[in-house]
Amino acid sequence: MTTEAGRTPKQKMIAGELYHPDDAELGADLRACQVWLARYNAMLGRPADERRVLLREILAGVGDGAVIRPPFHCDYGFNIRIGAHVFLNFNCVILDCTTVTIGDRTQIGPGVQILTADHPREAEAREAGLEFARPIAIGRNVWIGGGALILPGVTVGDHAIIGAGAVVTRDVAPGATVVGNPARPVPAKA
């Protein structure tokens, strides 16, 4: 369905604009991803190279040697791009209403959530059912500890470390280590 501005809700969603998530095209994309996830998550006992073939069916990009251990959960898949030798451990969630990029050799612990989906702060817009999304970019050779949350719009620089359970609400500088809720930089040792 094309909106009054000539853009579909899907186009608006990917662009980070306000959109209605109950659109028929988005619903079909969600269902297709759910069917794909059922297939993928049933492959836990299969070799990583076989799972990688399936990842390439739906993700925007999958680098050589990339591994996502099932179970894995995402909204659409087509907004996710992972680099070479990226590793996501069990039970990772990526809400990919817009782009999520993960650089080469990044290691992501179990239960990590990467969340692009957001909601308006104005009550009227929420009541109207509007949503939006902000992209997440995770650099190269990043380590993200188990149970961490990466919130909408965050960029994590190359070689950064995010401690287990951290709630990352702001950008993380290259090479920085952040911990806590909200995540704060750990001071460099003298």
The verdict on residue 33 lying in a domain is: yes
Res 1 pLDDT > 80: no
The verdict on residue 4 lying in a domain is: no
The verdict on residue 138 lying in a domain is: yes
Res 2 pLDDT > 70: no
The verdict on residue 3 lying in a domain is: no
Please report the beta strands in 77-153, taking only residues with DSSP state E, as ranges in sequence order.
80-82, 87-88, 92-95, 100-102, 107-108, 113-115, 117-118, 132-133, 136-138, 143-144, 149-150
Can you state the angle between helices 24-41 and 48-58, rounded to 10 degrees?
170
Q: Which of 20, 85, 119, 159 is catalytic?
A: 119
Q: CATH number of the domain that 26 lies in?
A: 2.160.10.10
CB 18 within 8 A of CB 132: yes
Choose among 46, 162, 152: nearest CA to 106: 162
pLDDT in tens, 6-33: 899 999 999 999 999 999 999 999 999 9
The verdict on residue 173 lying in a domain is: yes
pLDDT in tens, 67-123: 999 999 999 999 999 999 999 999 999 999 999 999 999 999 999 999 999 999 999
Residue 73 annotated as catalytic: no
Tally of structural domains, the chain: 1
Domain range for 174 is 9-186
pLDDT of residue 94: 98
Q: Model's pTM, two decimal places?
A: 0.94
The verdict on residue 137 lying in a domain is: yes
The verdict on residue 2 lying in a domain is: no
Res 189 pLDDT > 80: no
The verdict on residue 128 lying in a domain is: yes
